[in-house]
Structure 1
Amino acid sequence: MSTKNIARHKPVTAHNTILPYAPERAVDESMQLTKRWLAWGVPGWLTVDLGETFWVGRWVVYPLTHAGWPQDYVVYSTDLRGSVDNPEPKTIMDSAGGRVDQQLRPPRKMRYAMLSFPRGMHCNPNLISIQDFQLFEAENPPYLTALSIENESLHPFFNPKKYSYNVDVPQSRTSIRVKPTALHSQAQIKVDGENVASGTYSQNIHLQQGDNVIPIEVTSADGQMEDTYMVHVTREGDQTAPSLNSIELRGPRSNVINYQPEFNPKHYTYRADVPNSYQSVSVTATAQESDVEIKINGRAVESGHRQEVDLHEGMNEIEIHVGHNDEASHYIMEVIREDV
């Protein structure tokens, strides 16, 4: 287990506070009597933004007794909630009472870590106060330290905490090889479903025209943690095939949904993240040419007209087909609806 407290001095918010006992005092590692967070009203919460995702293996909550307060100045119970993308996590990952120093088994991946308090302290159930909140990363997390494509460049530049990359190749390139390097040598790596030793090239992966999605799965040696990096390889297609001029996504009340990367007629895969409250999205595909056939998830739709698509929790793949038979372009919009 890492000994570095990854919550120290990170941005923190709370449902409220009684000044001067601000939420920042709960992540400063100080055990002085006055260096505590104090709030009124239950249920209550305190959330830390770690800034990027971590595999958390241990969580610690120091009650006021650690700074010398009487035993009845301890909260009844504490829930730990976490999420990789929701500043208001819903999923309870662990629970404890009094002083907390517990390992998460298995470790859990999160950027936002929330302490939620169903009740306050024994001395006053309407008041919540803790001395310090700390988080520690698990041993041997399944990160890559390097990722490369033979004779090609990744966009954006590789970062172990970023999981999606794009590569554009000419039509003449019919296959590629991927070389992943793991942070820990005992990690297991699969590229496109095939085992690959860390720091070595994969087998040749055939490329079709248009978009090709290559998953790189990294599993910790103990099998408890898994990360998946995605490489989207766009092989240039037939320049005469019909293409789109734009794709627009909208949610409830016609809210515009941003997606990545920015639209390009010759890029064929995109991704958007939406909250759990979005049970559907509308997709508007506009063709560059007139009188071409457009299908969204197999349904014919006129260029520039909206098509409603229902969403389930997790990954939703929306296929947009433009053209006829072999003279066609295929776009993929991956919409990830938050799990609760």
Structure 2
Amino acid sequence: GKGDQPMSINIALNKNAKASRYIEPYVPSKAVDGVLAPISRWVGSSPVPSYGVPSPVWLVVDLGAEFWVNRWVVKQMGSVGWTADYNLCDYKLQGCNYYEWEDDDFLHREDHWWDMDSVADNSVNHTDRTLQKPCKTRFVRIYVTKGIRCNPLLASIVDLEVYAADPTSARLTSLSLSAGTLDQAFGSTNYNYTANVEYASSSITVTATAEDSRATIKVNGTPATSGYPSGQISLEPGSDNLVTVEVTPYVGDPQNYVIRVNRDGSPYLSNLTGFEELNPKFQKDVFIYVVYVPRDISTVRVTPVAEDPKAKITVKTLNNEEVVPSGAKSSPIEITTGNNKIHIKVNSAFGPESKNYTIDVYREN
């Protein structure tokens, strides 16, 4: 499948090459020219004197772009008719993505390079190695710590081949929420969505299914299992709830799907005052109340308090309708003998939700 099989193109062929040292005419470019002949090789030497302990020697190739490298082949002197004593002993493949090609000081800095694979005590004529997991790099370096067996101070490579894996899928096949629905049908190449949820949804889960079972998924940075609900994601009222689903493929760069979740603001009152006694006692999810007032009372004023101070509160009676700020008293409301209904409507500051509270005010005869 994709990501397992190397691409068949040698991506190091005829690319720019440099080395820590080389001996004319065996220049670095000869290690990547595709020619298998003793004259067409790179030869490098440890700095002298090194008292028999070889200093590392290296060959760098600029692949020209970032690739997910997963295979490398080093063809040694033994592959062009010399004995195995002329094959490299200890060397490794390294990668680097930040590189100043013209800056030779930069070339010598070890902290920019990381190991991708290594070979120890080699004797064979060519090594053909596949990485356990492809590595993304633009530059590759063959870092030789022990050169050819008959003279470890010398390094020689007839040909270096580098291969890369095709990127695998970073796409989802489905994406859904435990509350609310996406504003458009899910499409694996649509990466931005909006969803609206009611105020009651203080948290949601996201279920994302990856196209490739080897991909990994994170929801807002927390690992999630493909095809199963994520952990709970808390939502604040309003539009500032971004849910990011990051899909990291087996090979390749991550892809983000982003959902902006709009949660309605609160449509509830948190208190209702202005009367000696409400029946029943105020609770935000109780919507009908009864009040008895003595016969000498001709007006009342109600003070509605919204759970969200930005919510719109409208107080409506038989003869009047007014918007009352949260926590403020209404204008005086005339009370006649019998039942007087006061309607209080709360509209969410954000979203379409509303709740209606009713107070039946009875005045004694």
* TM-score interval, normalised by the smaller of the two chains: 0.3 to 0.5
TM-score by length of 1: 0.47
TM-score by length of 2: 0.45
Radius of gyration: which is bigger?
2
